[in-house]
Structure formats: structure tokens, C-alpha cells
Chain A
Amino acid sequence: MKKIVVGVALLMFAVAGFAADRPATPELNPPDNGEEWLRLSSTEKLFWSIGYAQGYQEALDKIDVTAGPTSPCAALAVRTERQSSTSGKLTGFELVSGLERFYSDPANTVIPIGTAIRIHLLQASGKDQTTIQELIDTARVLGLQAAARPRP
């Protein structure tokens, strides 16, 4: 009987310890496309945008470590990725606002969010509207195909 009581007490302590270890921050499911983006609250959108920009920049900074300083990946990162990354160009507020603007067209909601960010950056950098529209049309087609594919 004594052993059972001790066991139950240990179990309760363990449960309490696990509960205390859980992070207090809300868990956020990363959105895939505009449909999922629009389901987030504004606070979640802002947190996600800040995290996306920070994570993207950190990944770019470490690409020479992971892929090697003279690898094609590093060269690609220097050549293109740094130019199209959000870090240093957009704040979290601006990124949220840009995505809100982009997804205010219901036809764009199928476009993956990474593509939407790149298109928004190109728009913000003053790319010509014809090229932007071609990119949007292509992204819509690809987004529709991706949406039709069953998810793993």
C-alpha cells in the first residue's frame, strides 16, 4: 500500500514537472498559403512574420557553414537569396501589411506564402507590373496544382 502511494505521488510530480516545462508561448501552425494565412489572428501573423524574417536571415548567414564557403549554394545565397530576403528590407509590420494586401485578392489565396513574400518584395522594389502579373499568374496555377495534390 505504501509503495502504491509513493508511486502515485511520483507520477503526479512528474506530470507537474512536464506541465511546467511546456512553453507558455502559444503554438503557431505555420501557414502554407493565403487561405491559412487569413485564418491567423493579427498577433499570430505578426509573430510569424518576425520569425520568418529572422529565420531566413539566420539560414542565409549559416549557408556557407552548412554547404561550404565555395559551394554553389553559398554563391546562390550571395547572388540571389540575400536580395530577395526580407531581412533589412521589411519590418514585421510591413511584411504583415504586404501579405494582407496581396491576399486581399481572393484569387491569390492559393499562392504559397513564400512565393507571395517574394512577389511582394519585387513589387516593393519597383519591378514592372507586367512581370509581376506574370509571376502572379504562374503562382496561381502552381498553387492550384499544389492544392489539388493530397497532403502527406
Chain B
Amino acid sequence: MRHKYTVVVLLIAIVAAPAIPLTGQEEPLPPIQVKLTYEPAVVLAVVPFHEPVQPTLADAVRANDFATFDALYRSAPMPAFAMLHELWTFSMNDPVGAFFGPELRDRIARAYPGFAEYIEEFRIIDSNGNAFYPTSETRAFLLDRAIEGRAPRVLLAETVTSTPRIGTPASSPAERAASRRRAPVVAAKPKPIPTRVAARDAAGSAGEDAGVPQAVALAAPVVAETAPAVVAEQTPAPAPAPVVAAPVVPAVVQQPNDFGSRGILLLVIGLIGIGILAMMLRAPRDEPPVTILPAQPITRPSAAPPPPPAPQESGKNRATGSHG
């Protein structure tokens, strides 16, 4: 027994001997090796490979990068960004393109409902009472609409309804073309434009002193009004669609929007008519009052008819089943 204990103690001592230094000190630190930097003989050009990220139109607008936006839009035009592209191009090419006048503001407001209320906050009015609207905030508005996927409302309906329609669908193409050529003459009747608005719009730039260009600007709208009519008359045989579209657009912009007011009036009249009709239909008729009592005269309970006679075979067992 004692011999066994001795053997166990010896085994433990042999196993633990390397772990416990005899001197009681810690193990010495590993030798420090000086790292030598070796210059590689051949340097291979290693360039991290990144997938080329194609920026979108919205990214370009957010980064305020006009060149990229313009290139992207020209390569793949998107209707939702059309107005934004037009506005930004104007802003980059006009000497005072950071602001625009009421004419462009009205155009955008017609194309985007809610724009008029939005831009009202950013309107700047100078000492002469001229109103200017900033392009930067408008771009932000148009970007939001474009991201929502809302293209500007096309004003084709207004154009068609406001222009006097002379030709009929059954007319020959020549008659229709002739009637279209005549149409701007009727529409080109100059609408009185306020002096200040005319000066602003003709100047085309928001930063100019409104006092100076007014004399020049007064004549400009008159020329712009009459020009389409003259051009349309002198054009010998223009192609129907493109030639007509050019002179019609300025005339339409000047015309009041009768279609909307007329439509609203018709809608109101129709609603009133429906209301009157509904009231007439729901009026009480001269009919006898509906009663829930039976049509027979009321009889006393004593005079009630006797109960029905009992079945004759009531005393028998009722046969069940087909075999009885």
C-alpha cells in the first residue's frame, strides 16, 4: 500500500516537473526578433475590383451633379424627370437661373397640383413688387414628385378645348389642316397683360432691375402674341402636327381656363338636379297607411273557430317505416 502511494507521488512529480521551474521564476520572454521589411522584387498592380455603380437620375439630382443628370437624361429620358430636366437646364443656361418668374411658376403649378402652395413659402418679392421663385427648392419638389413616379400632367386637354374646333372628325385632312392653321388667328387676340407681369416675363430673368427693362418689355408680349398668327398664315403647307403645335402653345397659355370653370358649373348644376330628383322621389305619396293588422274583421275570442278535428287514426300506433 505504501509502495503504491510512493509510485503515484513520483508520477505526479514527473508530470508536473516541466511546468514548475526549479528556480521559481517565470519563463523568460521570447527573444525579440527585428522585423525586416523586404521590398518585393516584383510589384503587381492590385486594384480592388468594384462593381461600377451606375447612378440614377435621382442620385444625380441629390448629389447636385448636373452634368451626370443631363447625360443620364439624354441617354434615357424619363417622363417623370422631364420638367426637372427642363428647369435645371434653364437654371444652368440663364444668367439668373437660380430664380424664375411667375410664368414658369404657373406652368409648373398647372402640371403639379400642390406646387403653388409649396413654393409660396419661398417666394421672394423685391422692392418693386416683382415675385421671384427659387429654382433650388423647386428642384427638390420636382425630385420628390419624380421619385413618386408622377409625371407632369399633360395639358393637351386644355389645348384642345380652348382652341376653337372648326374641323370635324369627318373632315378631310386638308380641311383639318386648314382649320388648324386658321385657329391661331382666332386665339391670337391679345389678352391684356399687366405691365409688371409683361416686363417680368419679357425680361426672362429674375435678377434684372424691373425699372429698367419695362420699356423694352412692353413691346415684347405684343410681338409674341401676333407672331404665331402671322407665321401660321404665311406657312404654305406645313405638316399638320408639329407646325401647328408650335404656335398654339403660347396662345393657349395666354387664354383663360374656361374649360375648368364650365365643367365645375355643369357639375354643380348636375348635382343640384340629382338632389331635386332625389327629393321628389322620396316625397310621401297619397297612399293608404300600411297596417299590420289582418284584413279580416276582428272577432271575439269566444267566436273563434273550433279546433281542427283530431286525426282519425290517433288511437292507432303510428306506422313507421315503409313496412308498417
Q: Quick check: A93 and B91 within 8 Å, CB to CB?
A: no
Q: With A42-B122, A43-B124 in contact, do A93 and B134 touch (Cβ < 8 Å)?
A: no
Write the B109-136 contact mask toward A (1 if CB under 8 angstroms, else 0): 0000000000000101000000010111
Q: Quick check: A106 and B64 within 8 Å, CB to CB?
A: yes
**Residues in B neighbouring A92, C-beta threshold 8 A:** 207
**Residues in A neighbouring B57, C-beta threshold 8 A:** none
- B125 CB → nearest A CB, Å: 11
Interface size on A (CB < 8 Å)? 19
**Residues in B neighbouring A96, C-beta threshold 8 A:** 98-99
Q: With A92-B207, A93-B206, A94-B96 in contact, do A100 and B137 touch (Cβ < 8 Å)?
A: no
Distance in angstroms between the alpha carbons of A103 and B64 in the assembled complex: 8
Q: Quick check: B98 and A42 within 8 Å, CB to CB?
A: yes
Q: Is the interface of B mostly helix, strand, loop or mixed?
A: loop
Q: Quick check: B207 and A94 within 8 Å, CB to CB?
A: yes
Contact pick for B64, options A38, A41, A45, A91, CB 8 Å:
A38
**Residues in B neighbouring A104, C-beta threshold 8 A:** 64-67, 92
Q: Quick check: B65 and A97 within 8 Å, CB to CB?
A: no
Q: Quick check: A42 and B207 within 8 Å, CB to CB?
A: no
**Residues in B neighbouring A109, C-beta threshold 8 A:** 64
Distance in angstroms between the alpha carbons of A37 and B95 in the assembled complex: 19
For window 2-49 of A, CB contacts with B under 8 Å fall at: 38, 41-43, 45-46
The verdict on A105 contacting chain B, using a C-beta distance below 8 Å, is yes
Closest to A107 in B: B65
- A130 CB → nearest B CB, Å: 19
Distance in angstroms between the alpha carbons of A50 and B94 in the assembled complex: 19
- B124 CB → nearest A CB, Å: 6
Q: Quick check: A94 and B95 within 8 Å, CB to CB?
A: yes
Closest to B206 in A: A93
Q: Quick check: B97 and A42 within 8 Å, CB to CB?
A: no
**Residues in B neighbouring A93, C-beta threshold 8 A:** 96, 98-99, 132, 205-208
- A126 CB → nearest B CB, Å: 14
**Residues in B neighbouring A151, C-beta threshold 8 A:** none
Q: With A91-B207, A106-B65 in contact, do A42 and B91 touch (Cβ < 8 Å)?
A: no
Closest to B126 in A: A93
**Residues in B neighbouring A38, C-beta threshold 8 A:** 64
Contact pick for B135, options A43, A91, A100, A106, CB 8 Å:
A100
List 13 additional contacts besides A41-B122, A101-B91; criterion CB under 8 Å: A41-B137, A42-B99, A42-B135, A45-B98, A46-B124, A91-B209, A92-B207, A93-B208, A97-B95, A100-B91, A104-B65, A105-B66, A109-B64
